[in-house]
Chains A and B, each alone.
Chain A
């Protein structure tokens, strides 16, 4: 029994069969990568997991509880956090405030009318947020406006925001897209460090094979909306179907 069980998920966009009977079983504590060529349906799949899209049929169970039909904030409160392909952060707020918000969400739930106490007086939350930023090496950017961060820092900030909630499952949508090699390696190290210290289950969508093979325990290959292969990284590397999907039809 995995922490996340996806069964027979289908999604159509008009005539396009975006997800075709997708099954996935993510084991607790593992790093599960989903790879596949452009337009394979990877992001659509993640969107179904966090309640952004509703699949036509199928079921998604998280720790034995149904995910489908729940609102995004409810799914998040179940313990699923997502890092987006383009960092989704609060650009008008400071880095520190950005991290405090998920800390509040973790402590207070989806709504509480806490309108009299000062944010300054919330020492517990502040310490937590500071520690989080220390973990991702951003303690010196505490009071910077989030909009003025570099792209790499924005990603790290978003990761810190997700981790601040202490999620059980972390979904990462191309966490190194558009990064220079050095930044990519730094991100890999950071993610590895998180795996070692926190043991959070992760589902990673990634193009960069270097990243995938450095991090993943299990790999699923998605092509044209269907899972065509699944297994350990070594098995996937030489899999003929995978080569075909990535390189096009093999020579006749």
Chain B
């Protein structure tokens, strides 16, 4: 078993997250919108992993909590203030309550039945948000802020333009730009707010993983029967994990709305829930870093591959002779642009088949091989001396 030094892990994680705008700039991912998504979906995946990674309960309904979080936050923007704090607090409370209700019902079953129940609930929530609850959700248009909204805590807005979300006056869309070694670096307030929250909730997830509570959750995954006959009531344990992961999702939803103050029903659709599952499995379920990694990879694919069009492809294959260039573009075309999810699907399949433990398993294997090589050469150096 590999032993991680949690303090070192936390340190490396913090540094990587905070230097994200610099590290990711060479990959074309250093702009605020995408960086925010990396971090926010990282929070979502870390939370989802507390449920799926530890207990093995595969929920297909976590997008519902994301949506609940977003709606709650936008309502706070409309009624109270453009400061994101009340919105985030309400989002966590609402998604927690919502998760308590859904979890209480769905956790009566396990395995595939649990997954189907959560899927059904998420789809119900989606339909409610899309049509029935239009007064609260504004239906298919989505909930947006308006000039006429009350915002009782904020000063009167006479500027005629929509106010922007802020943290005690620090505006989320403020960006400080600089050029370093020819790269355009963008340090965005919204990204750093989300990043600090990610670091905090990542630390919380480490504590949960290492706690007796986390041990019980892992025991649920392994042998729920034994746990019952060991005097443990498994239901409150799984329910607590479900609610905690729901609150993480609500927090992510709140941050999405804080970066861009609108909430739509499509955020709750089951494809969104599915993509959360993909993130966690791709990165490595039940590992600490994996989910964040998976979220990053999927959001990167979504943002970068979808922007490659035929013109870009022609540029790539420019050196090839004419007919070959056309041929290559014709081959690659379905995998980029609108077809980016095709590439994602292929990558996902390759990883699940060859690295069932996700990207983290890949990293571990490389790490082990590296250690073995080092040890091997050390042994070789020793042998002649003996």
Q: Which residues of A contact B (CB under 8 A)?
A: 50, 71-73, 76-77, 81-82, 88-94, 97, 100-102, 104-106, 108-120, 122, 125, 143, 145, 161, 165
Given contacts A88-B223, A90-B219, A91-B222, A82 and B229 within 8 Å (CB-CB): yes
Write out the residue numbers on chain B whose beta carbons fall within 8 Å of the beta carbon of A117.
Answer: 211-212
Question: Which of A72, A113, A116 is B228 in contact with, Cβ under 8 Å?
Answer: A72
Q: Are B231 and A106 in contact (CB under 8 A)?
A: yes
Determine if B212 and A104 form an interchain contact, defined as CB atoms under 8 angstroms apart: yes
Q: Number of residues in B with C-beta < 8 Å to the partner?
A: 28
**Segment from B167-175, B233-241, B250-258 that makes contact with A:** B233-241
Enumerate the 6 nearest inter-chain pairs by beta-carbon distance, A residue then B residue, closest first: A76-B231, A115-B213, A110-B233, A92-B222, A90-B222, A88-B226
Q: Is the CB of A118 within 8 A of B223?
A: no
B213 touches A118 (CB 8 A): no
B230 at the interface (CB under 8 A from A): yes
User: Quick one: closest B residue to A50, CB to CB?
Assistant: B229
Question: Bound state CA distance, A114 and B228, in angstroms?
Answer: 18
Q: How far is the CB of B216 from chain A (nearest CB, A)?
A: 7
Q: Could you jot down 18 A-B contacts, CB within 8 Å?
A: A71-B228, A73-B232, A76-B231, A88-B225, A90-B227, A91-B222, A92-B222, A93-B215, A101-B216, A101-B219, A101-B227, A114-B212, A115-B213, A115-B240, A117-B212, A118-B211, A122-B212, A125-B212
Is B62 on the interface with A (CB-CB < 8 A)? Answer: no
B219: which A residues are within 8 A, CB to CB?
A: 90, 93, 97, 101
A118:B207 contact, CB within 8 angstroms: yes
Q: What is the bound-complex CA distance between A104 and B210, given in angstroms?
A: 14
Binding site for A on B (CB under 8 A): 1, 207-208, 210-216, 218-219, 221-223, 225-234, 236-237, 240
Are the C-beta atoms of A119 and B230 separated by less than 8 Å? no
Q: Which of B207, B226, B227 contacts A116 (CB 8 A)?
A: B207
**Could you tell me if B223 and A89 are in contact, using CB atoms closer than 8 angstroms?**
yes
User: A117 vs B207: C-alpha distance in the bound complex, in angstroms?
Assistant: 7
> Can you name the residue of chain B whose Cβ is closest to the Cβ of A52?
B229
Q: Which listed residue (A81, A91, A100, A120) contacts B223, Cβ 8 A?
A: A91
| Nearest B-chain residue to A102, judged by Cβ | B230
Best-surrounded residue of B223, B230, B232 (most CB of chain A within 10 A): B230
CB-nearest residue of chain A relative to B286? A92
Report the Cα distance A100→B229, complex, angstroms: 15
CA distance A116 to B233 in the complex (A): 20
Give the one of A102, A115, A119 with max B CB within 10 A.
A115
Verify B211–A114 contact, CB threshold 8 A.
yes
Given A91-B223, A116-B211, A119-B214, 5 further pairs, Cβ under 8 A? A90-B226, A113-B213, A118-B211, A125-B212, A165-B230
For the complex formed, measure the closest distance between the CB of B2 and the CB atoms of chain A, giving whole angstroms. Answer: 13
CA distance A108 to B207 in the complex (A): 19
Tell which of B1, B210, B218 touches A120, judged by Cβ atoms closer than 8 Å: B210
Q: Is there contact, CB below 8 Å, between B215 and A101?
A: yes
> Which residues of the partner chain A approach B228 to less than 8 Å between Cβ atoms?
71-73, 76
Residue of B nearest to A145 (CB): B1
Residue in A77, A115, A119 whose CB lies within 8 Å of B231: A77
B95 to chain A minimum Cβ distance, whole angstroms, is 18
CB < 8 Å neighbour of A104 from B208, B215, B221, B223? B215
